[in-house]
Structure 1
């Protein structure tokens, strides 16, 4: 027989998996709707009267903002009001991702429209009234900047992610080193995780240290009393643990050297990496943010195109600005569609959490037979795990207590089966 139990960590089994800033983001989105709607009318009318494709494109794109913001705002409101609706098996946390995917499609369509109109203007240029068009484009840029500020709450507290292709790490992936002063010399003990699973490192802090991995052990003791022993290997100049360290990194540790034991302590720190962003990012507010950032980019391009066309008579600069804007918007649309689509299809976006679950179980001698980890809302991961064990005391409650310390794991279903049972 198998022993199964379901629990929702952090959600008190009510399956509410909304992001931490859900209501705040909802209010910010409604505020931007009014601002974008007013500017949309001004730019479309002004661009049509004064013959600027880039300005009309800017206004058309801003018109999609009003619609996109409405989609985002309604998604926030609906998700909040139906968060406890039992018809949603895993809550309404993914509704924002659905809204983000919809907004990405709208972005892609408007990029195609701008590109089509730009090519048409290349083939059939029309006169532009620069004196009227340029001030409106500048005003549009100011409105976009104001919208960006409103959505960010006057800060950069959320992760909008524009698929720039680089990380946004705010600190090194290494915990503050704990120093040990031993007869053989001074050593720094740290948790290293720069591009690798977290491991212990013991690095000499003085010249000519005498340290061999033989007999060196690190034993961690977590707040719940769980102990784990780590062996170390020589990596050439420093020692490194052969086992990875499960999350969270908050525990006391005993470093056993040949001349005695040394007590140290580590505290958990926030980590900002791509895996963390994939788990916690609110794609609904991200889609709204991408819309206004894209419109700001089109506004800048419109101003540049209009100024150069006026100064040098390069009328082709105006439609060229539209082409560039279409490419930029299309790229951001693809990134948003890719990320939200992956979540809607339950693709595993956080391998780090999956590995934490696997190691938390297997480091204790049990075996993970089947494991599925997926996102159910911003900052909330769900896991279904099947465990094979030959230890009678390791029931589902044991494994729930073991996995409860993994940050971001909000809902867990555990199946436990005797080791001799085959699947």
Structure 2
């Protein structure tokens, strides 16, 4: 399709069609770069020369694709200016069908890269999929004589708090003598009182991170014990799990589809109203679209390659777990070593001589995205 668009655009005088074909060549190249990156990363996954593994090869491939995108945008922009200054005749009857066929090929490519119609995502979404009230994984159900109650951790746009709401229509919400006590793995306990918010109860105090603890719920009918666990979508921010390699290929195809649409619009308007300048204008707009995608991809992959921390919540969770047990974090570094894999180096000062690095590894094992952890323990003498 790339060859058909470039040759057809050149023969029939359509810059928009040539631009679409040139950009299609970049996404063909992006596919090759992505495939080579995955192949090389898999082949050298156990190579000791790669100290933290080969997880960043995808980011390097994505950064390379971003540079190619930027170069193509400049090329299309230069050619568009030339066409504005020296217009050429366009054979619309041949150019428009080729542009439509190119769009269909791009749509098919988008469908394949998005999971072949099975709804798979390659980390390209920009949200966490929050429920209107709480994460579904953070809802615990309590069965009482007056019905089923839902205890949840609500954190959508507000500091994390507990909420208790009726689970079924016939459930009755207790309005007094309701308390929740959290018991963390290190034995730390915290009591939460509740206020009536009209239709549900909400804790007056916010819940410190991490959200992994046993919960004792005291209701008028007695005590109920439920447990909350730290889940992957809390541990690892979306930017930390995003696969920039497949994302770069996906961006190429999405941008290419957009350029195809612009090419068709430019050709149709040029033929209908005689506006020959619409064709190079469509090329200019296409170049700007490509440049914008290139900048976003370059910024995301460049940050990973320079070891920027994409998930500050993970760093905060690590700090709170360690300092919540009475120790002090002297130094902490968290960075991404691959999609869904974070590494951390932490220096701890402790008054407990029996606490070794093994203790902290066990305490931080709950964070599934933390794949590589190095702990330095500095014993300090307790004040007399």
Instruction: Tell me the TM-score normalised to structure 2 length.
Output: 0.87
Q: Is the 8 A contact 1:230 1:243 kept in 2?
A: no
Q: Deviations over 1:357-403 (max 9, x none)?
A: 11111221212111111100011100111111111222111110111
8 Å CA contact 2:80, 2:284 repeated in 1: yes
2:53 maps to 1:91: yes
- Alignment deviations for residues 280-311 of structure 1 (CA, whole Å, 9 cap, x no partner): 11100000010111111101110111111111
- Residue 142 (structure 1) aligned with residue 82 (structure 2): no
Q: 1:203 to 1:171 in 2, by over 3 A?
A: closer
Within-5 A mapping of 1:1-400: 39-154=1-116, 155-161=118-124, 167=127, 169=129, 171-172=131-132, 173-174=134-135, 175-179=138-142, 181=144, 188-196=150-158, 198-202=160-164, 209-211=175-177, 216-220=179-183, 227-232=187-192, 237=197, 238-246=202-210, 249=212, 252-256=214-218, 260-266=222-228, 271=233, 276-400=237-361
- Give 3-state SS (helix, strand or coil) of 1:271's partner: helix
Structure 2 contact 114–122 (Cα < 8 Å) conserved: no
Question: Matched residues in 1 for 2:165 and 2:113: separation?
Answer: 45
Distance 1:97 1:323, change over 3 A: same
Judge conservation of contact 1:395–1:416 (CA < 8 Å) in 2: yes
User: Does the residue aligned with 2:64 lie in a helix, a strand or coil?
Assistant: helix
Displacement after TM superposition at 1:54 (Å): 0.3
For residue 50 of structure 1, report the CA deviation from its aligned partner.
Answer: 0.4
Contact 2:214 2:227 in 1 (8 A): yes
Structure 2, gaps ≥5 residues long: none
After superposition, the Cα gap between the structure-2 partners of 1:65 and 1:308, relative to the gap in structure 1 and judged at 3 Å, is same
CA RMSD of aligned residues (A): 2.8
Alpha-carbon distance, 1:62 to partner: 1.1
Q: Distance in 2 between matches of 1:331 and 1:188?
A: 45
1:159–1:277 contact (8 Å) kept in structure 2: no
Q: Do 2:237 and 2:310's aligned partners in 1 also have CA atoms closer than 8 Å?
A: no
- 1:6 is aligned to none
- How big is the shift at 1:56? 0.3
Judging changes above 3 Å, is the alpha-carbon distance between structure 1 residues 129 and 240 closer, same or farther for their aligned structure 2 residues?
same
Greater relative contact order, per chain length (Cα 8 Å cut-off, separation 6+): 1
CA distance in 1, matches of 2:247, 2:270: 34
Structure 1: gaps spanning 5 or more residues: 1-38
Worse-superposed segment, 335-344 or 146-155: 146-155
- Provide the secondary structure at the position in 1 that maps to 2:237: helix
Deviations along 1:149-169, one digit per CA (max 9) or x if unpaired, are 22223133123538xxx6362
CA distance in 2, matches of 1:107, 1:160: 20
Alpha-carbon distance in 2 for matches of 1:44, 1:146:
19
Provide closer, same or farther for how the CA distance between residues 269 and 413 of structure 1 changes in structure 2, counting only shifts above 3 A: closer
Q: What is the TM-score of this pair, normalised by structure 1?
A: 0.79
